[in-house]
A and B are shown apart, each in its own frame.
Chain A
Amino acid sequence: MDAVTKKELQRAANDVRIGIIEGVHSAKAGHPGGSLSCADILTYLYFKEMNIDPKDPKKSDRDRLVLSKGHAAPALYSVLANRGYFDVKELNTLRKIDSRLQGHPDMKHIPGVDMSSGSLGQGISAAVGMALSAKHFGDNYRVFTILGDGECEEGQVWEAAMFAANKGLSNLTAFVDFNNLQIDGTCDEVNSPSPIDKKFEAFGWDVLVIDGHDFDAIEDALDKAKASDKPFCIIAKTVKGKGVSYMENNVGWHGKAPGDEEYEIAIKDLAAIAESLK
């Protein structure tokens, strides 16, 4: 990837992070940690990888994304707004009465949301259904999904993984946002989802482990996914709360909104990053 493109993506991802903070601060609720951790993945997908048109969100041959870890909705909304699906000012309506920006993604009302999600373990199955539909009806679009690492404790994830490999759904790419933290602690303290890469391999997927904040690595992984004749899993090692100093790797910021003072610090942190990208 050339340096200009990379910098553009980094700036876009930083804008997405600002949108996340604006949203959850204004909502006084939400999930900043896991939204910030997958912001680079979502930015790369919507700004570089996916065949989409923000002016025609329902175009039939578009690539689809299912945010299986639906609680990262602030990140999805922010990337959609920053990509031009709707005004970024609307991010301030997150989780409020009469807002279309529901606490978890709602495909009926938010332009660009391809599937309602939020109940963990189910989104990947819906993505599998979309990939199956594309294969069956001869459509060329690709399907992406983003799972949480803790989410891989849900049995349905593995039902979906088994089916996708059995049906040869090579048009499906699943990211696992591996920040190693879930609500009650680190993933390995709470339960034993690891080794997630070996599990997907055993279920018949091609798997790659990457740094989920490195756009070169994301690009390389997606190129490999495209070339694979199997469903492809990208285990993206990430930092929960990435970009906001006090949130990084802090389990306390899974499902809590920053107060006014914390908000100011977060915005300063992200402004400093923006400055460094000038």
Chain B
Amino acid sequence: MADVIKKATRDGYGAGLLKLGQKYKDFVVLDADLAEATKTIVFKKAFPERFYDCGIAEQNMVSIAAGIAATGKKVFCSSFAMFAAGRAFEQVRNAVCYPHLNVVIAATHAGISVGEDGATHQCCEDIALMRSLPGMTIINPADAVEAEKALEAAYMHDGPVYMRFGRLAVPIVFDDDYSFEIGKGVELKEGNDVTVIATGLMVAEALIAYDILKEQGINARIINMATIKPLDTEIVLKAAKETGAIVTAEEHSVIGGLGSAVSEYLSEIYPVPVVKLGVYDRFGQSGAANDLLDLYGLRGKDIAEKAKAALALKK
């Protein structure tokens, strides 16, 4: 793995914002005193007059974003996932989603891979919160390349978008010519024994699981599900029919995230075993990000174990 290039998805966000800023003039960027960390600093340096710092007041920031969008302009607003989706939840619901406004909420530092800051800053509930909101689109990119591409798609999208980025540098999965489409899962590896549907940093781990399983004679299908809402039901149903067993993998609570979305869909239309890998109804804690991913069982080897469990359940 020594030659693997690693980059945080938040860096993809910063780079993407800069490119969008060069291309389009009709949007502004808001942050809540975290520009260095969220990487909106990259945009701020290039376009200081188009960047507004709202200070440590996330609820106000989200409502301001809604007001800007209500005047027909586009707007990105950033904070950590905990504060963008958690603290400002009701503002996202009532000011952004209820009027279905074009606000992109770009949340960084999602999941336990925040690391040393610990549980108060490790949001593993944001997807669940955002999924419950009518009309919300949720994108959780796998790598910095996808993050950058998804950003332009979010900019073009009509309606609110929640984007989830990480702090930790993770392997680059996609080539530069990768083309991102909202609502479309991507099959990364073919296989018909079992399907792993992964999102965010778990996608690179799923590719490790693919190799582990292959060595054991198991052909796993690997799907990258960057858009969690609306779910690509077509690719999920096809996987259920063709492989008969599914594992979901996410750096998020198993309550309300990707695993829930896949289970909810399949249980009504084509029930097959769905084994969920994620954070099991617990808080995070301080520690180095990679140690935490080991401790919480969010690794390729853990996905491979779940894949075998799913296979065992297969009729």
A60 at the interface (CB under 8 A from B): yes
A137-B73 contact given A125-B63, A132-B68, CB 8 Å threshold: yes
Which of B50, B57, B65, B90 gathers the greatest number of chain A CB atoms within 10 Å?
B57
A163-B64 contact given A116-B94, A122-B95, A126-B70, CB 8 Å threshold: yes
B57 & A130 in contact (Cβ 8 Å cutoff): no
From residue B70, how far is it (CB to closest CB) to chain A in Å? 5
| B91 surroundings in chain A (CB, below 8 A) | 122, 125, 156
Which B residues from 46 to 96 make CB contacts under 8 A with A?
A: 50, 52, 54-55, 57, 59-60, 63-73, 90-91, 94-95
A36 at the interface (CB under 8 A from B): no
B167 at the interface (CB under 8 A from A): no
B contact patch SS: helix
Q: Interface 1/0s, chain A 157-173, versus B by CB < 8 A?
A: 00110110011000000
From residue A124, how far is it (CB to closest CB) to chain B in Å? 8
| B142 surroundings in chain A (CB, below 8 A) | none
| A128 surroundings in chain B (CB, below 8 A) | 60, 63-64, 67
B60 & A159 in contact (Cβ 8 Å cutoff): yes
B270 at the interface (CB under 8 A from A): no
Which B residues from 124 to 176 make CB contacts under 8 A with A?
A: none
B94 & A132 in contact (Cβ 8 Å cutoff): no
| B66 surroundings in chain A (CB, below 8 A) | 115, 125-126, 129
Which of A115, A125, A134, A139 gathers the greatest number of chain B CB atoms within 10 Å?
A125
**Cβ contact of A130, chosen from B50, B67, B99, cutoff 8 A:** B67
A122 & B64 in contact (Cβ 8 Å cutoff): no
| A64 surroundings in chain B (CB, below 8 A) | 70-71
Give the complex CA separation of A126 and B72 in angstroms: 13
**Cβ contact of A125, chosen from B28, B59, B71, cutoff 8 A:** B59
B100 at the interface (CB under 8 A from A): yes
A114 at the interface (CB under 8 A from B): yes
Give the complex CA separation of A64 and B68 in angstroms: 12
* Residue in chain B with minimal CB distance to A128: B64
Q: How many residues of B sit at the interface, in one of the four size bands?
A: 20 to 34
Q: How many A-B residue pairs have CB under 8 A?
A: 101
Which A residues from 111 to 139 make CB contacts under 8 A with B?
A: 114-116, 118-119, 122, 125-134, 136-137, 139
Give the complex CA separation of A119 and B68 in angstroms: 18
Q: Interface 1/0s, chain B 94-111, versus A by CB < 8 A?
A: 110011100000000000
A160 & B71 in contact (Cβ 8 Å cutoff): no
B70 & A114 in contact (Cβ 8 Å cutoff): yes
* Residue in chain A with minimal CB distance to B98: A116
A108 at the interface (CB under 8 A from B): yes
A227 at the interface (CB under 8 A from B): no
A136-B28 contact given A129-B63, A129-B68, CB 8 Å threshold: yes
A contact patch SS: helix
Give the complex CA separation of A166 and B66 in angstroms: 19
B99 & A133 in contact (Cβ 8 Å cutoff): no
| A162 surroundings in chain B (CB, below 8 A) | 55, 57
Give the complex CA separation of A167 and B69 in angstroms: 18
| A129 surroundings in chain B (CB, below 8 A) | 63-71
A107 at the interface (CB under 8 A from B): yes
A234 at the interface (CB under 8 A from B): no
A126-B63 contact given A134-B71, A162-B55, CB 8 Å threshold: yes
| A160 surroundings in chain B (CB, below 8 A) | 60, 63-64
Give the complex CA separation of A119 and B91 in angstroms: 9
Give the complex CA separation of A56 and B192 in angstroms: 58
A60 & B72 in contact (Cβ 8 Å cutoff): yes
| A266 surroundings in chain B (CB, below 8 A) | none
A79 at the interface (CB under 8 A from B): no
A126 & B55 in contact (Cβ 8 Å cutoff): no
From residue B98, how far is it (CB to closest CB) to chain A in Å? 5
A81 at the interface (CB under 8 A from B): no
A75 at the interface (CB under 8 A from B): no
A132-B59 contact given A115-B99, A163-B54, CB 8 Å threshold: no
A115 & B60 in contact (Cβ 8 Å cutoff): no
Q: Interface 1/0s, chain B 18-39, versus A by CB < 8 A?
A: 0000000010100000000000
B71 & A122 in contact (Cβ 8 Å cutoff): no
A119 & B94 in contact (Cβ 8 Å cutoff): yes
From residue B125, how far is it (CB to closest CB) to chain A in Å? 21
**A residues with CB within 8 A of B:** 60, 64, 66, 106-108, 114-116, 118-119, 122, 125-134, 136-137, 139, 156, 159-160, 162-163, 166-167
Not counting A116-B99, A166-B55, a sample of 7 additional A-B residue pairs whose C-beta atoms are within 8 angstroms of each other reads A115-B66, A116-B94, A128-B60, A129-B71, A132-B68, A137-B73, A160-B60
19 A-B pairs whose Cβ atoms sit less than 8 Å apart in the complex: A64-B70, A107-B99, A115-B66, A122-B63, A122-B94, A122-B95, A125-B66, A125-B67, A126-B70, A126-B95, A129-B68, A136-B73, A137-B71, A156-B91, A159-B55, A160-B63, A163-B54, A163-B55, A163-B57
